[in-house]
Structure 1
Amino acid sequence: MREDFLHYVWRFKKMDVLQLQTSKNEPIVIVNSGEYLELSGPDFFNAQLIIGNQKWAGNIEIHVKSSDWYSHNHELDSAYENVILHVVWEHDTDVFRKDNSEIPTLELKHYVESNVLENYNYLNQSKKWIYCENQINQVSDFVFQNWKERLFLERLEKKSDFIVKLLQASHNDWEAVLFFLLSKNFGLNINGDAFLKMAQSLTFDLVRKEAFELENLEALFFGQLQLLAENKEDAYFKDLQFRYFYLAHKYQLDLESQNGVQFFKLRPDNFPTIRLAQLANLFHLYPNLFSKIIELKSIDGAYTLLQVGVSCYWKTHFVFDKSSHKRDKMVSKSFVDLVLINTIIPFQFVYAKLNGTLNIDFFLEFMDAITPEKNSIIEKFFSLDVKVKSALDSQALLHLKNEYCNHNKCLSCAIGVELLK
């Protein structure tokens, strides 16, 4: 037996509410079961009960056993002084307040509906990938769709925390934060942190000043990531190296904070050299990129804006000193989708939220127009006959798996609650 199940039973009154009695055989009438807040302190706040002939207002605390009150040291915590009912599965000891008055106890196991307990036990059978994998496709489309929208918004809120921290650290410099986020995204999972540190080692004023000359941006980006540290015979390499040492001296860059990048396990189109060249070209082509991102309203506009290529040298190279067949190496549609999902949408969300212009429907509709991601988690949900039609679905399911399924939070999940009915 777990406490989250007892929270569920009390919250949704899945018990014989007409027959409730305390361990001392006093009748209990629930006027208001209280507000469920998953915070420190009692589990339900501002409840109203009639116990015996006395009306009470206060908090409800729930445990598997009565003795858990003492195991958790609640007798020493003033936050629990206003508890009016101790709800437990098994009553194994009486609990007292500081004034030695006994806290009434409700032993739930005598009142829980049998079908609720059976459904709970069935849902919590031995876990394979997720507990409900044999039942998840039985949930109605209406319930699932509403829950996916909620999950997606929760994921957006979680991504917002990182963006807000960057804003605070940069004194609310939105352009700088956009540069940081795009840099991290262009670095992908393998080089994302290194790209972010590179961006943070440069002030955005510096990037803005040098953006008129593409080679200067490349020199700064490549140099800060140690890609110009060796000696090569390549003429373009030597030119970037010269530019970098000049700019590093001019702007007094901290060379000790340089970070290297990885090429291992990456396809050539994802080499850090190519992604850096595309990133430099993006800020070279659009000095007012911030305003264009904020004003972005359509998926087609996003593809037009973000589908940039590389400079002439990189059309015939993936790395320095080794030529290849000429290709424009334009950013692909699938990569733009990743940028939209991981950077543009969260960035726009935070901007709208902090400026009081938040329109939830816009973000839901925008994400619904983007192709879903492909990864092992999404493929597994697909194999369980879960519909994955858009990036809204895939982002929601990633959040579901990582934040709910992995932590056994079935009874905080709309799917789990629906399956218990």
Structure 2
Amino acid sequence: MIQEEFLHFVWLHQYFNPKQLITTDGKSVEVLKPGYHNHLAGPDFKEASIKLEGILWAGSVEIHVKSSDWSAHKHDGDSNYDNVVLHVVFTHDREILNADGQPIPTLELKGLVKPGLLSRYKTIVESQTDIPCGNSFHKVKAVTKLSMLEFTLVRRLERKGDLFKEILESNNQDWEQSTYQWLASGFGFKTNSENMLQLANAVPLKVLQKHADLKQWEALLFGASGLLNASDNDAYANELRREYAFLERKYEVKSSLSYNQWHFSGVRPSNFPTVRIAQFAALVHSHPNLFSLFTHFTDLVSLQKLLQVSPSEYWKSHLNFGAKSKFQNKAMSKSAAQGLMINTIAPLLVAYSEYKDDADMLDRAMNILMTLPVEQNHIIRKWQTLGWNVNSSFDTQGLIELYNEYCLTRKCMKCKIGIELVKA
């Protein structure tokens, strides 16, 4: 299984026999400059210098696994590819014509790539293990692992920060409303994240802040969520339902959420959407200025305790409307609060640091990750089995990103670890 990323790597470093290169139609090829790797739209390598039959050509190089991928990738008729002077493929399976109807010079790499390099590459990408390089992982230099870990951590924070920026853009740069929606999404903890975001969009923070009573906040949030419709014989649900009927008309609340959209099955009771909405309402009610709370906290212990606010009295004895549970404190757990700090607050700080060009905010985000303990999940256990020394959430966040974005997708030739092993 050959991937384009591998061929990009081979072409960039010229890891093939450079002697007596010929195109598929018999023309001599001499590579003077492979060009620079283009990661944007257009040909893969730009500003290359190639000699064909002794004549110097300057332009772009496009790389594919098969020649026919040119058409499969819809390059035919695309003016961005008019200056391609060489088409580099692993397997030549058909002739490709340029805009003038002339064959594009094509170099086939099959049989030219150094055997050891190709063998090491195939060993990794064709591995049946979740982490392709697992069997060779012990050979990787510590500095390479650390470098890739830092890269994937930053990439993860930036990617999540970009999601926050989309919310910010939709709110016309209103940081308070955006933080409220972002926090709501975080309270959904993956299974109900999108529903919580929709809920916060349907019930803006400014609407909630018009009321001092937490019960009215719950009426608005539970009413818009559609979860009030689950019970007809619960006194508190009926009370909230009557309150919501009035508030819905007053504020013209528009919500398409229904009970069936929320995930209860397979979710721990402490993570039921009803419990999370109650906790969310209590937190925002106690600290309505969320943005300043998250950007100006003094220490992590205090912030964690703030996130562990207890919900209203009703939710101390219920997990759902009309479903009593043993009386207990339904405050958010320590681990859940830490999860919010890692996955919600840290990316918010990264986005704000970029917006304000404020290095202090970035330091705050990194401090959260370096201070909080190791997250325990099946991904982290895989890395620990391979001998990776995991010390904090800084490590776990980078390793989760590495596993999801590189290992599972077999993007080994975009990973510094994979590149080192293939180069050997």
Paired with 2:138 and 2:295, the residues of 1 have a C-alpha distance of: 38
Please name the residue that 2:388 is paired with. 386
What does 1:121-160 correspond to in 2, within 5 Å? 121-160=122-161
Paired with 1:402 and 1:342, the residues of 2 have a C-alpha distance of: 15
The one-letter code of the counterpart of 1:57 is: A
Paired with 2:108 and 2:277, the residues of 1 have a C-alpha distance of: 63
Please name the residue that 1:376 is paired with. 378
What's the secondary structure of 2:384's corresponding residue?
helix
Q: CA-atom RMSD, angstroms?
A: 3.0
Pick the aligned partner of 1:409 from 404, 408, 411. Answer: 411
Please name the residue that 1:180 is paired with. 181
Query: 1:158 Cα deviation (Å)?
Result: 2.5
The one-letter code of the counterpart of 1:12 is: H
Paired with 2:357 and 2:48, the residues of 1 have a C-alpha distance of: 34
Paired with 2:100 and 2:232, the residues of 1 have a C-alpha distance of: 80
Please name the residue that 2:334 is paired with. 333
Please name the residue that 1:399 is paired with. 401
Query: 1:147 Cα deviation (Å)?
Result: 0.8
What does 1:21-32 correspond to in 2, within 5 Å? 21-23=21-23, 24=26, 26=28, 28-30=30-32, 32=33
Paired with 2:254 and 2:122, the residues of 1 have a C-alpha distance of: 59
Please name the residue that 1:192 is paired with. 193
Residue 363 to residue 142, structure 1, CA distance change in 2 (3 Å): farther
List per-residue Cα deviations over 1:187-233 (Å, max 9, x = no partner): 323333332222211122101222x3222212222222234334335
Query: 1:373 Cα deviation (Å)?
Result: 2.8
Is the aligned partner of 1:265 residue 2:263? no
Whether the 8 Å contact between 2:234 and 2:322 is mirrored in structure 1 is yes
Residue 308 to residue 74, structure 1, CA distance change in 2 (3 Å): closer
Paired with 1:387 and 1:238, the residues of 2 have a C-alpha distance of: 53
Residue 223 to residue 33, structure 1, CA distance change in 2 (3 Å): same
- Number of equivalent positions: 417
Query: TM-score scaled by structure 2?
Result: 0.86
Greater Cα offset, 216-225 or 50-59: 50-59
Paired with 1:99 and 1:221, the residues of 2 have a C-alpha distance of: 63
The one-letter code of the counterpart of 1:416 is: G
What's the secondary structure of 1:303's corresponding residue?
helix
What's the secondary structure of 1:327's corresponding residue?
coil
What does 1:18-417 correspond to in 2, within 5 Å? 19=19, 21-23=21-23, 24=26, 26=28, 28-30=30-32, 32-50=33-51, 53-66=54-67, 69=70, 74=75, 76-90=77-91, 97-99=98-100, 103-109=104-110, 111-210=112-211, 212-229=212-229, 230-232=231-233, 234=235, 236-254=236-254, 257-259=257-259, 261-296=262-297, 298-321=299-322, 324-358=325-359, 360-417=362-419
Query: 1:295 Cα deviation (Å)?
Result: 2.0
Query: TM-score scaled by structure 1?
Result: 0.86
List per-residue Cα deviations over 1:209-259 (Å, max 9, x = no partner): 22x32222122222222343343353x445434433332233232366555
Residue 21 to residue 360, structure 1, CA distance change in 2 (3 Å): farther
Whether the 8 Å contact between 1:318 and 1:324 is mirrored in structure 2 is yes
Q: Percent of aligned pairs with the same residue?
A: 36
Residue 183 to residue 54, structure 1, CA distance change in 2 (3 Å): same
What's the secondary structure of 1:188's corresponding residue?
coil
Query: 1:339 Cα deviation (Å)?
Result: 0.8
Whether the 8 Å contact between 1:382 and 1:388 is mirrored in structure 2 is yes
Paired with 2:317 and 2:175, the residues of 1 have a C-alpha distance of: 35
Whether the 8 Å contact between 1:198 and 1:258 is mirrored in structure 2 is no
Paired with 1:22 and 1:109, the residues of 2 have a C-alpha distance of: 12
Residue 315 to residue 93, structure 1, CA distance change in 2 (3 Å): closer
Query: 1:52 Cα deviation (Å)?
Result: 5.8
List per-residue Cα deviations over 1:355-393 (Å, max 9, x = no partner): 332565543343222223333333333333333332233
Paired with 2:221 and 2:155, the residues of 1 have a C-alpha distance of: 34
Residue 215 to residue 65, structure 1, CA distance change in 2 (3 Å): closer
Greater Cα offset, 173-182 or 190-199: 190-199
Query: 1:306 Cα deviation (Å)?
Result: 1.6
Whether the 8 Å contact between 2:176 and 2:289 is mirrored in structure 1 is no
Whether the 8 Å contact between 2:373 and 2:393 is mirrored in structure 1 is yes
Paired with 1:402 and 1:183, the residues of 2 have a C-alpha distance of: 24
Whether the 8 Å contact between 2:202 and 2:255 is mirrored in structure 1 is no
Residue 174 to residue 71, structure 1, CA distance change in 2 (3 Å): closer
Greater Cα offset, 173-182 or 123-132: 123-132
Paired with 2:60 and 2:286, the residues of 1 have a C-alpha distance of: 60
Paired with 2:277 and 2:73, the residues of 1 have a C-alpha distance of: 53
The one-letter code of the counterpart of 2:10 is: V
Paired with 2:150 and 2:202, the residues of 1 have a C-alpha distance of: 37
